[in-house]
Amino acid sequence: QRINILLSVLFVPTILGQGCSQTLQVDRNVMIISSPNYPEKYGKGTQCTWTVNAPTNYNVKLTCTDVELPNVFILGLFGCLGDTVKVSPTGKADFSDASTYCGTDSFTEVSDSNVMTIGLSATKYSKGGKLNCTAQAYFSPCNCGRVGMSPRIVGGTDAKQTDFPSLVAISDITEHDLYCHGTIISPRKVLTAHICVQNRVTSNLFVVVGMQEKKPDGGSPYYSIYMVDSFICKSGDCSKNPDTESDIAILKIKDEFQMNPGVWPACMPFNYRTSTFAGERVQVAGWGQISPSAEQPKKLQKTTFDVIRNTECKRTLGGTQITNSNICTFTNQTYPCGKDSGEGLYYTAENGHIHIVGIIGSFANNCKNLPSVNTRMTSVMDWVVNNSDDGEYCNPNKMYNRG
- Judged against a pLDDT cut of 70, whether residue 17 lies above it is answered with no
Model confidence pLDDT, tens digit, residues 290-332: 666 566 777 888 889 999 999 999 999 887 789 999 999 998 8
Report phi then psi at 165, rounded to 5. -70, -15
Mean pLDDT of the chain: 85
Check: CB of residue 20 under 8 Å from CB of residue 10.
Answer: no
Q: How far apart are the first and last CA of the chain?
A: 38
CA angle (325 as vertex; 324, 331 as ends), nearest 5: 85
pTM value is: 0.81
DSSP code, position 350: T
Report phi then psi at 279, rounded to 5. 90, -10
Return all residues near 75 (Cβ < 8 A) that are at least 6 apart.
103
d(C-alpha 297, C-alpha 287), whole Å: 6
One-letter amino acid at 400 equals: Y
Could you give the percent of the chain with pLDDT greater than 90? 63
Model confidence pLDDT, tens digit, residues 95-130: 999 999 999 999 999 999 999 999 999 999 999 999
Lowest mean pLDDT among 158-162, 183-187, 346-350: 158-162
List the beta strands (DSSP E) in 309-353: 326-329, 335-336, 344-348
Task: Report the candidate in 186, 148, 150 with the shortest Cα–Cα distance to residue 168.
Answer: 186
Lowest mean pLDDT among 11-15, 189-193, 298-302: 11-15
pLDDT confidence of residue 12 = 32
Rg of the Cα trace of the chain? Answer: 25
pLDDT confidence of residue 4 = 35
d(C-alpha 300, C-alpha 169), whole Å: 10
Model confidence pLDDT, tens digit, residues 203-255: 999 999 999 888 888 888 999 999 999 999 999 999 999 888 889 999 999 99
Check: CB of residue 17 under 8 Å from CB of residue 30.
Answer: no
Average pLDDT over every residue of 86-96: 97
- Provide the H-helix boundaries in 246-303: none
d(C-alpha 241, C-alpha 363), whole Å: 11
- Judged against a pLDDT cut of 60, whether residue 399 lies above it is answered with no
Q: Which phi-psi region, left, alpha or beta, contains residue 300 (left: φ > 0; alpha: ψ -120 to 50)?
A: beta
Task: Report the candidate in 105, 100, 130 with the shortest Cα–Cα distance to residue 34.
Answer: 130
Sign of CA dihedral 214, 353, 357, 400: positive
Lowest mean pLDDT among 74-88, 114-128, 176-190: 74-88
Task: Report the candidate in 185, 65, 62, 67 with the shortest Cα–Cα distance to residue 112.
Answer: 62
Could you give the percent of the chain with pLDDT greater than 70? 85
> 177 falls in which pLDDT band (50, 70, 90)?
confident
Q: What is the DSSP string of 87-145?
A: EETT--TT-TT-EEE-BT--EEEE-SSSEEEEEEE--TT----EEEEEEEEE--GGGTT
Residues recorded for the chain? 403
DSSP code, position 382: H
d(C-alpha 122, C-alpha 132), whole Å: 15
Check: CB of residue 171 under 8 Å from CB of residue 190.
Answer: no
Check: CB of residue 136 under 8 Å from CB of residue 61.
Answer: yes
Give the pairing type, strands 115-121 and 372-376. Answer: unpaired
Domains of the chain with bracketed CATH: 22-138 (2.60.120.290), 161-388 (2.40.10.10)
The percent of the chain in helix, strand and coil, each rounded to the nearest 5, is 10, 40, 55
pLDDT confidence of residue 14 = 29
Return all residues near 61 (Cβ < 8 A) that are at least 6 apart.
108, 109, 110, 111, 135, 136, 137, 138
Model confidence pLDDT, tens digit, residues 364-394: 766 788 889 999 999 999 999 998 765 578 8
The burial class, CB within 10 Å (0-12 / 13-18 / 19+), for 293 is: exposed
pLDDT confidence of residue 154 = 52
Sign of CA dihedral 299, 227, 110, 29: negative
Model confidence pLDDT, tens digit, residues 67-78: 999 987 555 456
- Judged against a pLDDT cut of 80, whether residue 151 lies above it is answered with no
d(C-alpha 354, C-alpha 345), whole Å: 10
Q: Which residue has the higher pLDDT, 18 or 219?
A: 219
Task: Report the candidate in 196, 195, 205, 208 with the shortest Cα–Cα distance to residue 164.
Answer: 208
d(C-alpha 95, C-alpha 86), whole Å: 7
Q: Which residue has the higher pLDDT, 100 or 286?
A: 100
d(C-alpha 356, C-alpha 358), whole Å: 6
DSSP code, position 242: P
